[in-house]
Amino acid sequence: MLASVLSYGLTGIEGYPMQVEVDCREGGMPTFETVGLPGAAVKESRERVRSALVNSHLRYPYGPTTVNLAPADVRKEGPRYDLPIALGLLAASKQLPLEPLKELLVLGELSLDGRLRPITGVLPMLIRARSDGVKKALLPVDNAREAACLEGMEIYGAESILSAVRFLRGEEKLEPMPLLSYDSLLKGTKPLCDLSQVRGQYAAKRALEIAASGGHNMLMIGPPGSGKTMLARCMPGILPPMGFEEALETTRIHSAAGSREGLVTQRPFRAPHHTASAAALVGGGRDAMPGEISKAHNGVLFLDELPEFPRIVLEALRQPMEDGVVHVSRVGAQCEYPARFSLICAMNPCPCGNFGSRTRRCRCTPQAIERYLNRVSGPLLDRIDLVVEMDFVPAEEALRDRSPGEDSETVRARVEKARAMARERYKGTGIYANAHLSGAQLEKHCALSGEADRLMQAAMAQMKLSMRAYTRVLKLARTLADMEQEDRIAEHHVAEALAYRGAGDKYWKG
Amino acid sequence: MTREEGCLLWLTLVQGLGNRGIEKLLSSFGSAQDVYDAGYGAWAQVVGESLAARMRERQDPERINAHFKRVRQMGGDILTRAHPLYPKALAETPDAPYTLYALGDLSLLQGELVAVIGSRNMSRDGERAAALFGAGLARAGVTVVSGLARGADGTAQKAALDAGGKSIGVLGCGLDVFYPPENEPLQRRLAREGLLLSECPPGTPARGWQFSARNRIIAGLSRGVVVVEAGEKSGALVTAGYAVDYDRELFAVPGSIFLPQSAGSNQLLRFSALPALGPEDVLNTLGLDTKAAPGPKAEPLPEGLNAEERALCQILRRGECSFDDLVEFSSMEPGKLNSLLTMLEMRGIIIKTPGRFYALSGGA
């Protein structure tokens, strides 16, 4: 007899519907064939299914059996089809009625004793299923909890194959998972690191707020121990909270990459080590898995020790930074992953880190310092609007003398106001933050006049600003004006914007 | 070149002989010519066979002449001890070099020579002091002697030239070798407007020990030695040591007791050095005219500052400040402060040093 169970597959972060068809005749040679491009884990499914059924006191049908995973031309990976195959077998051998399996999405891995194990990538598949109009899903209980944030779907969590079978036979009642509202999830989140924990470093804190307000990328230059990493960790906490759709998108990526933490409600903070390869950063591997930049989608990508990153790796970031998406093509799959993130970089002022210190000696020659700075890719620097030099704080002094200052919550409120102003201005233009301004839009929204213009001209001449540097200063000045809710860019906005450019110019003339 | 000079040159070109070897030979034979004529057997008794063999190998009038010509062709001179222009003060020191290669204005050797030296790693104040003494002494007609190193040396010499004065750079490598490389423009300028000296033949690469050896030349040439700033293990202290040995006036510029960069120069003050609070201290002690040398004085704040800018300048007057310090002292918002600082920087009233320290630009 023939049975068909609805399941879902995953390519990249996109789910697709899949039918698990089981054809089973009793009597005859006991063969078991899985077709439809099964991967190794899918082929091994037979052994887990047989043991699980037998150990759950269910009958394993002996006879010629064929399992087809349709569409048959897409490669299937992982153990997530154990449960649909087992249920298909039971239905095909008349141990289960066919009716309740209709329109029920089934996913799950089996252990030999019949219990259900959680699988990865549930959320992207369910999100797709929900938009395909699937109303019910049967999942391992751990996955069901993770999926409970999805509105408009009844999610049933089963402990074991036996409880799944009893549920489908109507012998046992399972309650659908209670819906977890997004707001309640949001409330439970706490930022990684609060700004009030960072003492001193007023300039860098200010720069961080500007970066958050205008969506600017930022580079911190400072000696080891000056709090660069800690500040970067504060960034997710001062960005406005993610909306539900943003959270879903981010979650799809993380879930596809193997996370089982349910809905990602907090803006991600990714800090890949500088030995990471280009593939690890932008995505790759045989199955074109998402890389760090996609995992940082809607959040923060932090590159510590920027000059230590191989140039080729940094160059690979340019296109995704421009487009907000990255296309990864590999043998096993071609995928498109979103990758819109705030970039924060950090580096030492010289190889030993003590250049400019008043207390520690720098042993680097000027040539060594120049070589070190030149290792950073120029085109990448062009995409960084904000360069800030950290203060050299001796640790004991920092803890004693400096007041803690504002917390992330207060700063975030201001950031939201500034962002709202920019959003309002750019309505219908497709951009939403000052960092994305270019060309005609830049001229329209960042026009300078009077004092501000005079200062800018003087600065161009005196600091020998390049055209690129000029536009960066303009964009920053626009953000600074937004932070004060001003329509016009004033002189002091330009002056302050120049301060974040000036720091960079000392290191990179241009 | 006289025969005696040629023979001295020959001796300095024998590798491994060194100053001490030459001294031994000269005291045994009388003059360089006598050494030249004595022959292998006699040399071997004084300096041993291997060195004597090298002397014989080098004993080739044509090669010595060619070497001399090469130096002349690059515009240089060779001053041997027998040369009339060989600096007298230096000649009196115990370990004076037998030959000096020179490039530039030899008449400077007859002037008043004062060394201004210091560490390579300087504080902002050390840099200011180097420039102040370099320029101040130069304006008073003193020729500033230094080692053309990174940091204090180069700063002082550049200030001296910029002030329209004269300067002598004593190198630890060949005159045609640029070390440190970033001082190449200054080295070329000294060859044009001042004088370069070295005891190493042209082409000699920079090696560590040669630099401490050249320090004795700096001290030997000069009447006085001013240490503007030196850390605990600075090479400037070696020069100071020579200055004491050679009975030169030793000055040190007092520095903060908290800064590691001035630990060494402050030590000098504890022992024998005279405190130099400005170029006129040095000039007075050496009995030179002080009229043209302005001391460091608190310059009045520039005109046309608004209240906030004035407040910032008042804070900076007390010494350089980090950004965090400025925020604490002025109680201004960081954004506001950044904007003010940029304006002041653009007007040239303050400067920003590496490590984001701010200072008033006046004074140096």
> CATH number of the domain that B60 lies in?
1.10.150
Are B114 and B225 within 8 A, CB to CB? yes
Other beta carbons less than 10 A from residue A298's beta carbon:
23
Look at residue B295 in the predicted model and tell me its pLDDT: 54
Confidence of residue A396 (pLDDT cuts 50, 70, 90): low
Mutate to test the interface with A, among B257, B324, B325, B331 (most CBs of A within 10 A): B324
Whether A498 maps to a domain, the answer reads: no
CA distance B242 to A239: 63
Range of the domain at A367: 195-436
Confidence of residue B363 (pLDDT cuts 50, 70, 90): very low
User: A389 to chain B: nearest residue by CA?
Assistant: B356
- Which of A507, A270, A232 lies closest to A389 in space, CA to CA? A507
Among the partner residues B323, B328, B357, nearest to A203 by beta-carbon distance: B323
**Interchain proximity A361–B336, CB inside 8 Å:** no
Among the partner residues B345, B352, B355, nearest to A392 by beta-carbon distance: B355
Look at residue A393 in the predicted model and tell me its pLDDT: 65
Look at residue A401 in the predicted model and tell me its pLDDT: 59
Shared-domain flag, residues A274 and A144: no
- CATH code of residue A117: 3.30.230.10
For residue B11, give how far its alpha carbon lies from the nearest alpha carbon of chain A (Å).
36
Whether B93 maps to a domain, the answer reads: no
Q: Which helix (H) or strand (E) holds A455?
A: helix A450-463
Q: Which of these three, B68, B94, B125, is where a domain ends? A: B68
Whether B81 maps to a domain, the answer reads: no
Other beta carbons less than 10 A from residue B33's beta carbon:
17
Shared-domain flag, residues A259 and A334: yes
CA distance B263 to B230: 7
Shared-domain flag, residues B184 and B260: yes
Whether A97 maps to a domain, the answer reads: yes
Chain B hits for A362, CB-CB cut-off 8 Å, are: 121
Among the partner residues B181, B341, B356, nearest to A367 by beta-carbon distance: B181
Shared-domain flag, residues B110 and B161: yes
**Interchain proximity A499–B339, CB inside 8 Å:** yes
What is the number of structural domains in chain B?
3
Look at residue A292 in the predicted model and tell me its pLDDT: 95
Shared-domain flag, residues B132 and B182: yes
**Six token digits for residue B320:** 């350089």
**Interchain proximity B354–A506, CB inside 8 Å:** yes
User: Is pLDDT at A399 greater than 70 in this prediction?
Assistant: no
**Interchain proximity B352–A359, CB inside 8 Å:** no
Shared-domain flag, residues B274 and B131: yes
Are A445 and A478 within 8 A, CB to CB? yes
Whether B5 maps to a domain, the answer reads: yes
Shared-domain flag, residues A202 and A315: yes
Residue A409 CB partners (closer than 8 Å, separation 6+): none
Residue A142 CB partners (closer than 8 Å, separation 6+): A117, A118, A157, A260
Shared-domain flag, residues A97 and A131: yes
Are B109 and B211 within 8 A, CB to CB? no
Is residue B296 reached through a cis peptide bond, with omega within 30 degrees of 0 on the bond before it? no
Give the mean model confidence (pLDDT) for residues B73-84.
Answer: 91
Look at residue A335 in the predicted model and tell me its pLDDT: 87
CA distance A170 to B104: 106
Whether A133 maps to a domain, the answer reads: yes
Whether B291 maps to a domain, the answer reads: no
**Six token digits for residue A81:** 């089809």
For residue B169, give how far its alpha carbon lies from the nearest alpha carbon of chain A (Å).
21
Shared-domain flag, residues A252 and A385: yes
Our measurement of the distance from residue A92's CA atom to the centroid of its chain's CA atoms, rounded to an integer in Å, reads: 42
Q: Is B363 left (phi over 0), alpha (psi -120 to 50) or beta?
A: left
Look at residue A469 in the predicted model and tell me its pLDDT: 82
Shared-domain flag, residues B170 and B227: yes
Cβ-based burial of B119 (10 A; exposed 0-12, middle 13-18, buried ≥19): buried
Range of the domain at B43: 1-68
For residue B356, give how far its alpha carbon lies from the nearest alpha carbon of chain A (Å).
6
Chain A hits for B336, CB-CB cut-off 8 Å, are: 492, 496
**How many residues appear in chain B?**
364
Q: Which of these three, A106, A134, A169, is where a domain ends? A: A169
Distances (CA, A) of A391 to A201, A349, A363, A371, B308: 6, 11, 19, 23, 22
- CATH code of residue B322: 1.10.10.10
Shared-domain flag, residues B201 and B324: no
Query: B330 CB near a chain A CB, below 8 Å?
Result: no
Each residue of B38-66: pLDDT tens digit? 989 999 999 999 999 999 999 999 999 99
Distances (CA, A) of A467 to A452, A456, A490: 17, 12, 20
Query: A400 CB near a chain B CB, below 8 Å?
Result: no
Whether B98 maps to a domain, the answer reads: no
**Six token digits for residue B40:** 């292998």
Shared-domain flag, residues A144 and A215: no
Exposure on the CB side of residue A159, measured as CA atoms within 13 A: 7
Shared-domain flag, residues B242 and B167: yes
- CATH code of residue A253: 3.40.50.300
Are A348 and A224 within 8 A, CB to CB? yes
CA distance A439 to B22: 75
Shared-domain flag, residues A203 and A116: no
Shared-domain flag, residues B275 and B339: no
Mutate to test the interface with B, among A454, A482, A496, A500 (most CBs of B within 10 A): A496
CA distance B163 to B145: 15
Confidence of residue A151 (pLDDT cuts 50, 70, 90): confident
Confidence of residue A509 (pLDDT cuts 50, 70, 90): very low
Please report the number of interchain residue pairs, chain A to chain B, with beta-carbon separation below 8 angstroms. Answer: 91
Provide the 3-class DSSP secondary structure of residue B194: coil
Beta strands in chain B (DSSP E): 76-80, 99-104, 113-118, 143-146, 166-171, 195-198, 224-229, 249-252, 274-275, 321-322, 350-353, 357-360
Provide the 3-class DSSP secondary structure of residue B14: coil
Question: B235-245 and B208-221 are packed helices; what angle lies between their axes, rounded to 10 degrees?
Answer: 40
Whether A313 maps to a domain, the answer reads: yes
Shared-domain flag, residues A165 and A297: no
Shared-domain flag, residues B110 and B199: yes
Shared-domain flag, residues B130 and B56: no
Q: Which of these three, B252, B285, B318, is where a domain ends? A: B285
- Start-to-end CA distance of chain A, whole Å, equals 75
CA distance A215 to A231: 16
Shared-domain flag, residues B261 and B143: yes
Provide the 3-class DSSP secondary structure of residue A69: strand
Confidence of residue A224 (pLDDT cuts 50, 70, 90): confident
For residue A410, give how far its alpha carbon lies from the nearest alpha carbon of chain B (Å).
15
Our measurement of the distance from residue A18's CA atom to the centroid of its chain's CA atoms, rounded to an integer in Å, reads: 26
- R_g (Cα) of chain B, nearest Å: 24
Are A216 and A476 within 8 A, CB to CB? yes
**How many residues appear in chain A?**
510
Exposure on the CB side of residue A273, measured as CA atoms within 13 A: 2
Which residues 89-108 in chain A show a CB within 8 A of chain B? none
Query: Is the pLDDT higher at A200 or at A446?
Result: A446
Whether B80 maps to a domain, the answer reads: no
Other beta carbons less than 10 A from residue B222's beta carbon:
31
Shared-domain flag, residues A376 and A414: yes
Shared-domain flag, residues A290 and A145: no
Confidence of residue A429 (pLDDT cuts 50, 70, 90): confident
Whether A482 maps to a domain, the answer reads: no
For residue B355, give how far its alpha carbon lies from the nearest alpha carbon of chain A (Å).
4
Look at residue A510 in the predicted model and tell me its pLDDT: 36
Whether B216 maps to a domain, the answer reads: yes
Give counts: helices (H), strands (E), chain B: 17, 12
User: Is pLDDT at A9 greater than 50 in this prediction?
Assistant: yes
Shared-domain flag, residues A155 and A221: no
Give B208-214 contacts, CB < 8 A, sequence gap 24+. Answer: B210/B172, B210/B173, B211/B147, B211/B149, B211/B172, B211/B235, B212/B238, B213/B172, B214/B147, B214/B170, B214/B171, B214/B172
Q: Which of these three, A126, A154, A169, is where a domain ends? A: A169
**Interchain proximity B352–A506, CB inside 8 Å:** yes
Q: Which of these three, A153, A169, A185, is where a domain ends? A: A169
Look at residue A43 in the predicted model and tell me its pLDDT: 93
Are A161 and A110 within 8 A, CB to CB? yes
Least confident of A91-95, A125-129, B120-124, B162-166: B120-124
Query: B150 CB near a chain A CB, below 8 Å?
Result: yes
* DSSP letter assigned to residue B199: S
CA distance A296 to A99: 43
Shared-domain flag, residues A204 and A165: no
**Interchain proximity B334–A206, CB inside 8 Å:** yes
CA distance A494 to A474: 7
Shared-domain flag, residues B113 and B245: yes
Are A355 and A347 within 8 A, CB to CB? no
Whether A240 maps to a domain, the answer reads: yes
**Interchain proximity B356–A392, CB inside 8 Å:** yes
Confidence of residue A507 (pLDDT cuts 50, 70, 90): low
What is the number of structural domains in chain A?
2
Are B258 and B112 within 8 A, CB to CB? no
Mean pLDDT rounded to a whole number for chain B: 89
The most confident of A281-290, A330-339, A446-455, B216-225, by mean pLDDT: B216-225
CA distance A430 to A439: 14
- CATH code of residue B146: 3.40.50.450
- Which of A27, A29, A90, A97 lies closest to A56 in space, CA to CA? A90
For residue B354, give how far its alpha carbon lies from the nearest alpha carbon of chain A (Å).
5
Whether A341 maps to a domain, the answer reads: yes
Chain B hits for A396, CB-CB cut-off 8 Å, are: none
The strand pair at A342-347 and B99-104 is best described as unpaired
User: Is pLDDT at B37 greater than 50 in this prediction?
Assistant: yes
Chain A hits for B342, CB-CB cut-off 8 Å, are: 495-496, 498-499, 502
Look at residue A32 in the predicted model and tell me its pLDDT: 92
CA distance B194 to B186: 10
Mutate to test the interface with A, among B326, B356, B357 (most CBs of A within 10 A): B356
Look at residue B267 in the predicted model and tell me its pLDDT: 94
